[in-house]
Structure 1
Amino acid sequence: MSAANDQGFSTASIHAGYEPDSLYGSINTPIYASTTFAQNGLNELRGGYEYTRCGNPTITALEKTVAALEGAAFGRAFSSGMAATDVLLRIFLRPGSHLVFGHDAYGGTFRLIDQVFTQWGVEYTVVDTTDAQAVGQAVQENTALVWLETPSNPGLSITDIQAVADAVAGRAPLVVDNTFASPYLQNPLKLGAAAVLHSTTKYIGGHSDVVGGLVVTNDAKLDEDLLFYQGGTGAIPSVFDAYLTARGLKTLAVRMDRHCDNAEAIAKHLNASEKVATVLYPGLETHPGHEVAARQMRRFGAMISVRFHSEEAARAFCLNTKVIALAESLGGVESLVEHPASMTHQSVTDSVLEVPRDLVRISVGIEDIEDLISDVDAALAAIN
């Protein structure tokens, strides 16, 4: 997998986007904790920066690095993944527009569309995006955007990005939320996406200590719009957050390989348990999206969803892990478990996106696999 200037991924994650400065030779991107920048004359900017809401060297370095890793010409950082989502939707949608998105999309994305954008007169169609033909058939004359998650949250559905891009080509732009995969495992721009979204809070930051979002694209006009909204709405990351995110990004490749190693082992272990009804993990050959994931992803990721035989069993599992913390979010070095129906996905209750109440989502960290397996076994033993 190549990145900027044909560098390897790990090399680009460490070096792309920043070179040691000429003044002191700082190896790491400096934290430019300045709201404003001195000018050489009236609107004569030094290095292109005037006010941090409209641009800052620390933030720019992060944007360039993620863009390089995604094979993109442009990148824009935001204060959170949902802020980035909101901006993308604002750019593409207008009153009377139509949107197509997946039947198991992230609850926060659905809430924003269903409770905010519909007040603008935006319409939407929910479709099983694993069926590219169905996505194509859902596109209408007023369809302004097709929104994908793959792998999806929390159903772990796998959508063939290239097939969907072909099905909607020339009729609607395609945006892919690539948060679960990260740039290391999947590059949707190369498969036909117009833009790619990341919650950098997750794998890119990687340490559960910083919130952020980022959008990359090869479309210069779209990048101009992103830049306008970035400064116009002010939903930017702080320079300290940008620094922490960039620091986490340097180890993305090594972390993701360990994440994936652990997830593959845990998925197989859970799959062998009689107390588990179904393991939803694309790395298992029984997963309906296994072949597509093997084709478009480098590895299968570190998210596992498990369906138990009852909601009571699912809750018991969540309440009886010790190493694996009961907490929302994902993508950090530590393993986390949650019950989506009562935690991250409450907003889709009683909707077409409602999550099964017997489903548990596990974000597999990079701890020693023996300790994780032991913890999983203890939680399984607590199920009656």
Structure 2
Amino acid sequence: MTQTKLNTRLSKRVQEIKPSGIRRFFDLASKMDNIISLGVGEPDFVTPWNVREASISSLERGFTAYSANAGLFELRKEISNYMSNRFSVNYDPETEVLVTVGASEAIDIGMRAILDEGDEVIIVEPSFVSYVPLVQMAGGVAVSVGTSNENQFKVSAKQIEAAITPRTKALMLCFPNNPTGATMNGKEMQEIADLAECHDLLVFSDEIYAELSYDEKHVSFASLPNMKDRTILISGFSKAFAMTGWRLGFVMASPDLLAAMLKLHQYSLMCAPTMAQYGALEALKSGMDDIERMKQSYKQRRNFVVKSFGEIGLPCHTPGGAFYAFPSVEKTGLTSEQFAEKLLLEERIAVVPGYVFGEGGEGHIRCSYATSMDNLEQSVERIDRFLRKLM
């Protein structure tokens, strides 16, 4: 079948969406030996045994049926208690909490629940690669607002206000940020909250890395005055709880917004996997010590990576959260894609070129330090050797 004929069978919307720019490098790396990957945004810790045991026990007890569409009520209550105790946000587990198949589903159904054709969503970039496509798949228009290394990749209310038009429906925030590791404090968030209230904007707040805030306590956007009812708060178990493969997230929102998302969730996925929900329940009940242990390890690795990159000539701001460093490669004269590809082919180090996270990411590479110190030390040696050859 010719490509022309095939294209007539595909929706224009899907054809216009670009494939993930990360995949090409992973595909290249998968065919090579002696690779050290700094590319995957995934903890190198195994899910704690008691969480795995709780999931196995649920299977042994025969808990294999569908849960309620919104998730096990016991889990929703525990999520509500956890978010209240840790981040000072209060949501009713009956009407304001929905368990999803990863945080990605939560963003997807949130966008589809609120957007009509042509509605605009402001996205702070560099950003996670799925935000723009999910806006587009919901019929919306993504409007980028760039951040830079000069301001530690923070965004100001003034920048956001300049991008607002009569079609602006929502704002997408992610702090701590993927890919930059940037964080925002309460005062900086409050200025954006005032702007959202003034312009009657909904705010998607992706807080999947909230527990991995190293230098200041995370401020949940929904905890700010008057923000709860206009915030769609997204989080999950993948990052801080080391449960990526479990595909379990959650979304918290006002009853009207959550009811709309629940309809989409019902028809597309029915419910999140029951055995994963029992694992998550155990993680919330007993996992805080595990979170702290992993967090301190990441912080140690962060400090090593930032210091080492600076010493070999890759300027890198100190990320306040998540587990990514975002050093600049501009002085090499290579684009981020050229740098990443040459580094992979010549030194067997896999990183992600910054351009895949939006225009503001060009000139940088994303390096995950969620890997062993031995891998990080070897990576720095290889990147140093690569830079010396380049220069």
Deviations 1:314-357 (A, max 9, x none): 445556888xxx7xxxxxxxxxx532459xx3xx6xxx64742x
1:307 counterpart SS class = coil
Identity %: 12
Query: 81-90 vs 358-367, which deviates more?
Result: 358-367
Match of 1:304 among 325, 341, 349: 325
1:169 matches 2:182: no
- Distance across 1 between alignment mates of 2:99 and 2:205: 16
Deviations 1:78-104 (A, max 9, x none): 112221111111222123423222232
The answer as to whether partners of 2:71 and 2:271 remain within 8 angstroms in 1 is: no
- Distance across 2 between alignment mates of 1:35 and 1:28: 14
- Distance across 2 between alignment mates of 1:52 and 1:321: 50
Which residue in the other structure is 2:83 paired with?
Answer: 67
Which residue in the other structure is 1:106 paired with?
Answer: 128
| 2:203 counterpart letter in structure 1 | L
Which residue in the other structure is 1:139 paired with?
Answer: 164
- Distance across 1 between alignment mates of 2:81 and 2:258: 16
Which residue in the other structure is 1:92 paired with?
Answer: 114
For normalisation by structure 1, the TM-score amounts to 0.65
For normalisation by structure 2, the TM-score amounts to 0.64
Which residue in the other structure is 2:151 paired with?
Answer: none
Q: CA deviation at 1:166?
A: 1.3
Q: CA deviation at 1:261?
A: 2.5
- Distance across 2 between alignment mates of 1:56 and 1:320: 50
Which residue in the other structure is 1:237 paired with?
Answer: 272
Distance verdict in 2 for CA 1:27–1:214, change over 3 Å:
closer
The answer as to whether partners of 1:307 and 1:359 remain within 8 angstroms in 2 is: yes
- Distance across 1 between alignment mates of 2:177 and 2:263: 29
Which residue in the other structure is 1:255 paired with?
Answer: 294
1:380 counterpart SS class = helix
The 5 A counterparts of 1:1-384 are 30=58, 33-35=63-65, 52-57=68-73, 59-60=75-76, 63-64=79-80, 66-68=82-84, 69-70=86-87, 71-73=89-91, 74-114=96-136, 116-118=137-139, 122-128=140-146, 130-158=155-183, 160-170=188-198, 171-182=200-211, 185-186=217-218, 187-191=220-224, 192=227, 194-198=231-235, 200-201=237-238, 203-217=239-253, 219-234=254-269, 236-248=271-283, 250=287, 251-274=290-313, 276=314, 278-283=315-320, 300-308=321-329, 309=332, 310=334, 311=336, 312-315=338-341, 317-318=343-344, 338-340=351-353, 345=356, 353=359, 355-356=361-362, 359-365=364-370, 367=372, 369=373, 371-383=374-386, 384=389
Q: CA deviation at 1:373?
A: 4.7
1:281 counterpart SS class = coil
- Distance across 2 between alignment mates of 1:339 and 1:306: 11
| 1:107 counterpart letter in structure 2 | V
The answer as to whether partners of 1:205 and 1:247 remain within 8 angstroms in 2 is: no
- By relative contact order (CA 8 Å, sep 6+), the higher-ranking structure is 2
Q: Which runs of 5+ in 1 are unaligned?
A: 1-13, 15-25, 37-50, 284-299, 327-336
Distance verdict in 2 for CA 1:211–1:321, change over 3 Å:
farther
Q: CA deviation at 1:28?
A: 11
Q: Which runs of 5+ in 2 are unaligned?
A: 1-47, 49-53, 148-154
The answer as to whether partners of 2:124 and 2:146 remain within 8 angstroms in 1 is: yes
- Distance across 1 between alignment mates of 2:243 and 2:269: 25
Matched pairs, number: 299
| 2:255 counterpart letter in structure 1 | A
- Distance across 1 between alignment mates of 2:235 and 2:55: 26
- Distance across 2 between alignment mates of 1:108 and 1:238: 22
Distance verdict in 2 for CA 1:117–1:57, change over 3 Å:
closer
The answer as to whether partners of 1:100 and 1:146 remain within 8 angstroms in 2 is: yes
The answer as to whether partners of 1:197 and 1:214 remain within 8 angstroms in 2 is: yes
The answer as to whether partners of 1:139 and 1:172 remain within 8 angstroms in 2 is: no
- Distance across 1 between alignment mates of 2:260 and 2:266: 10
Distance verdict in 2 for CA 1:204–1:227, change over 3 Å:
farther
Q: CA deviation at 1:135?
A: 1.0
- Distance across 2 between alignment mates of 1:67 and 1:321: 43
Distance verdict in 2 for CA 1:28–1:212, change over 3 Å:
closer
